[in-house]
Structures are given as C-alpha cells and as structure tokens.
Amino acid sequence: MAKLRILEFPDPRLRTKAARVESVDDTLNALIDDLFETMYEAPGIGLAATQVDVHKRLLVTDVSADKSEPLALINPVILEKDGVTVTEEGCLSVPGYYEEVERAEHIRLRYVDRNGDEAEMEAVGLLAVCIQHEIDHLDGKLFVDYLSEAKRQRIRKRLVKDKRQRTAEAVTL
C-alpha cells in the first residue's frame, strides 16, 4: 500500500479526460487500495484517480464517519438525476477553499465494481454530491468551475502563491 501525491489546482493535468478502464485486474485493485489509503489519510470523503495523475475512470468514496462505507466505482455513468441540493464543497486538489455548489440531490448510476462485475446503485444527499464531484474530476472538471471567473482566479492566484512559498521554503531549509 502507498499514499499517493495529490495534484493541486491549477495543475493542467487535472484537466485530463480519463479513459475507460478495460480490465479489472490485480494492478487495478492495488491502485484502488492506494486510492483508499490516500483518501483516508488526507482525510477526504472521495478521491478520483485523476487527482493522483492516473487518467482512468475510477473513483473511491466513503462518506461514513468511521470508514465503514468504502465504495470503489469503475467506469461510472449517471443514468438519472433528480432534485437539486446545495452543498458547501471542498476538494483535496483545491486545499483550503469551501464554496457552495448546486448539484442533483438524487442519482442513479451504473458502474463496474472491483470484482469486475456490472452493478447499478442509487445515491442521495452527500454520497450523491460526492459521486458527482468525483465524476467531474474524471472529465477534467473541478468544483471551482461552477464559481464566478473572479472567484476562481482569486483561488488560483492564492494557490500558486502558496505553492511558490512552499518551494522557496524547501530551498532555504
């Protein structure tokens, strides 16, 4: 198991559209374990492969308080969306920023599980929001894309500045 490095906005690699997974094998399952470890360690309630620079249609979530609801979704496709909910979202790739985003309240989706079997499920509330946020990552989209251009630029500038500062400190130390 290994904790992986998470890319941060505005890294252009976060804009990559992920490719469908063709086979669910041991290598893919090892990656799923690493995604869970990275997500729990962060900590976060979801993580898309895109965020660790692996451009495959794969995501993990666990919205429980005690790591009891791990869910790995391969090639997820939303079949139906219902209702509207507004959530204060954050993202491990946009550290330190939380903004309200409007999404479907209820979704039905098809996916492949980590055994390679096709499945369907329904999700509501925070799990539904999280899955939509993760599928956006697989399409190269970030929650900041739903904000105004001015807000997005402000966040981008601060994160670039923070990163420059971290790099400078690393050189000085």
Known catalytic residue: 134?
A: yes
Task: List the single partner that 90 binds among Ni ion, ligand GNR, none, CB under 5 to 8 Å by kind.
Answer: ligand GNR
Running DSSP on this structure, what letter comes out for residue 96? Answer: T
Decide: 52 and 35 in contact? Cβ < 8 Å: yes
How many other CB atoms are there within 10 angstroms of residue 86's CB atom? 11
The residue (of 52 and 91) whose beta carbon lies closer to Ni ion is 91
132 makes contact, choosing from ligand GNR, Ni ion, none, with CB < 5 to 8 Å by partner type, with none
Residues in 4-43 at the binding interface with ligand GNR, rule: CB under 6 A = none
- CA nearest neighbour of 44 among 57, 68, 63, 59: 63
Q: Write the DSSP symbol of residue 9.
A: T
Active-site option among 105, 134, 149, 169:
134
* x/- letters, 66..95, toward Ni ion (CB under 5 A): -------------------------x----
Two structure tokens written together for 135:
């599928």
> Of 9, 46, 109, 159, which lies in the binding site for ligand GNR, with binding defined by CB under 6 A?
46
How do beta strands 71-82 and 106-112 pair?
A: antiparallel
In the set 44, 75, 104, 144, which binds ligand GNR (CB under 6 A)? 44
Q: Which two tokens mark 165?
A: 């500062």
Q: Is 121 helix (H, G, I), strand (E, B) or coil?
A: strand
In the list 90, 121, 124, 141, the residue contacting ligand GNR (rule: CB under 6 A) is: 90
Q: Nearer Cβ to ligand GNR, position 51 or 75?
A: 51
Residue 142, class by beta-carbon neighbours within 10 Å (0-12 exposed, 13-18 middle, 19+ buried)?
Answer: buried
**Does position 45 bind ligand GNR by CB under 6 A?**
yes
Binding residues for Ni ion (CB under 5 A): 91
Binding site for ligand GNR (CB under 6 A): 44-48, 51, 87, 89-93, 129-130, 133-134, 137
